[in-house]
Structure 1
Amino acid sequence: MKLLKARVLVLLVGLFVPLAVQAAAKATELKFVLYFPQVPPYMYQDKESELVVGLVPEVLQDFFSQQNIQVQYVADNRTRAEHSLYQGDVDAILLAKEWTQHPDKLVFSEPLLEHKDFLFSRQPMATAGQLADWVKGKAICTRQYYVYQALEPFFQTNDTARVDSSSELTQLTMLLNGRCDFAFMNEHVANWLLHHHFPEQQLYRSASGFNPVGLTVAFHPRWKPQMAAFNRYLREQQQQGVIAQWLKFYVTKS
């Protein structure tokens, strides 16, 4: 009888150990916002595969895998996404600290990379000069609701006309159709659009860029314990040139 009890105990232990391992291995879920309108080459949904692709998913997927974190992408617009992050309904969004209403309520990663805004034109631009001289009396295609620190003084004095659009694609389309004199755009997004949507069009950009911004991931504060490891991972990816390689791949990918 004692031997039988021992065998039963061994069997029970054998059954519970795999269950305990499975419980311990269960992935933590993270809801990451996919903006709409989407922002290639950073993050967008591939039309054929319907997978979320781009620089950001490629760079971050190894870290999330290492940490046993399962990412669920949630589509939303920029304004609602920020509010949802404050409420804790989502876990992370692609967002620079200076663009937020309440930066003290979020946790920000170190920058993945930096980008600048440039003026894009149908005509060659002077290699030297001041922004005030370029935009005075001109119309500039912009994104609706965006705040452009470099241009706001000229918009406020009515020296420059602001022509809003719903997306960066619409900005360039309006520029090419003569609706404005310049489009003011993120350099990486503009390069992606020119390569994928307007490969036969020739556009020129200003010699210098404006509004340098670090592309960061904003997390809900409950993810603060993971930030040291996450930032360390980002630094490694930068030093190894991985981020620059993915950026080049997605900008030029056909």
Structure 2
Amino acid sequence: MQNTKYLLPCIYILLFFACKNVFASNTYLFAVNTPSAPPYLYIDPKSNTYIGLINDVAQEVTRIHKVKFKFIDSHRNRNEALIYSGKVDAFLLSRVWLQHPEKIIATIPLFSHRMFLYQMKPFNDSFTLADIREQSVCTRESYVYPSLTEMAESGIISRVDSRSQLSVMSMLVAGRCDYAIMNEFNAIKVFNSPSFEGHKIFRSPAPSDETHTEIILRPELTELKNQFDQTIAAMQKDGSLQKSLQHHVESKFPYNK
């Protein structure tokens, strides 16, 4: 009887930690590129929490499948190593930009990721990449631009690297390069900053690169991938994914005419 008196509390403690571990296993770490930007994931100044299209998708997965997500600040250059080592569970990117895409699994595409060229004067309607021969392009340091890689490596164009989207466009405005290249949504954020008030910057008539953006996952998370895929497909079908995208885009393009 005396042994039972001490055994029961031990059993309760073990059950507590076992349940705690079960619930903890249902919380997935989602790495966020900082500084974050609309429409994907960005900080709501009122609540100081992450909002955006990815959060809307994650909330729907949570509602249906009872899993949880924790968004953690990270960096694009670090995310790939973190997911290979199992320190994070997911992040947003296109698998074509990964060094080792065979080491991950990815959801079905969420939307198109489009890169455009920008300059300080209007583009001709017939503009093609052949028109930038022997010109300089302001780019983001360590970023891979499929359309420009071969041209830069062969010396047809020159890359002028910078550490942030803001400085990429600042160098264009300052005349340190002939063109800049940037994702259309990052461009919206940059152009709506006070630094570019009064400047008119023009966008190429067609994207220079277009890929699909996916949620990258650790290879063992096949069940989570299926949950994401089902949710994304349903949101695409009923139009709620497109509505979310439009809701989180800051403004219309002010620079292509």
What corresponds to 2:117 in structure 1? Answer: 119
1:58 and 1:229 mapped to 2: Cα distance? 14
Mean Cα displacement is larger for which, 182-191 or 243-252? Answer: 243-252
What corresponds to 2:69 in structure 1? Answer: 71
Mean Cα displacement is larger for which, 206-215 or 170-179? Answer: 170-179
Identity %: 30
* SS of structure 1 residue aligned to 2:220: helix
1:238 and 1:170 mapped to 2: Cα distance? 35
Q: TM-score normalized by structure 1?
A: 0.83
Mean Cα displacement is larger for which, 103-112 or 224-233? Answer: 224-233
What corresponds to 1:224 in structure 2? Answer: 222
What is the one-letter code of the residue matched to 2:182? M
What is the one-letter code of the residue matched to 1:121? Q
Mean Cα displacement is larger for which, 65-74 or 193-202? Answer: 193-202
What corresponds to 1:155 in structure 2? Answer: 152
Aligned counterparts, 1:89-128, within 5 A? 89-128=87-126
Give 1:192 deviation, angstroms: 3.1
2:190 and 2:52 mapped to 1: Cα distance? 14
Q: Is the 8 A contact 2:127 2:205 kept in 1?
A: no
1:123 and 1:234 mapped to 2: Cα distance? 39
Q: 1:236 to 1:196 in 2, by over 3 A?
A: farther
What is the one-letter code of the residue matched to 1:240? D
Match for 2:85 among 42, 67, 87? 87
What corresponds to 2:241 in structure 1? Answer: 243
Q: TM-score normalized by structure 2?
A: 0.82
Aligned counterparts, 1:125-144, within 5 A? 125-133=123-131, 135-144=132-141
Q: Is the 8 A contact 1:132 1:154 kept in 2?
A: no
2:222 and 2:55 mapped to 1: Cα distance? 20
Number of equivalenced pairs: 234
Quick check: which has more Rg, 1 or 2? 1
Give 1:121 deviation, angstroms: 1.1
Q: Is the 8 A contact 1:111 1:215 kept in 2?
A: yes
2:78 and 2:46 mapped to 1: Cα distance? 27
Q: Is the 8 A contact 2:36 2:42 kept in 1?
A: yes
Aligned counterparts, 1:203-222, within 5 A? 203-222=201-220
Q: 1:52 to 1:131 in 2, by over 3 A?
A: same
Mean Cα displacement is larger for which, 80-89 or 55-64? Answer: 55-64
Q: 1:46 to 1:166 in 2, by over 3 A?
A: farther
Q: Cα RMSD between the aligned structures? A: 2.5
1:148 and 1:113 mapped to 2: Cα distance? 18
Residue 177 in 1 paired to residue 183 in 2? no
What is the one-letter code of the residue matched to 2:118? F
Give 1:245 deviation, angstroms: 1.8
2:130 and 2:218 mapped to 1: Cα distance? 39
Give 1:193 deviation, angstroms: 2.6
Unmatched segments (≥5 aa) in structure 1:
1-15
Q: 1:169 to 1:243 in 2, by over 3 A?
A: farther
Give 1:69 deviation, angstroms: 1.7
What is the one-letter code of the residue matched to 2:156? D
Q: Is the 8 A contact 1:41 1:192 kept in 2?
A: no
2:241 and 2:174 mapped to 1: Cα distance? 34
Unmatched segments (≥5 aa) in structure 2:
1-11, 252-257
Give 1:141 deviation, angstroms: 0.8
1:57 and 1:175 mapped to 2: Cα distance? 33
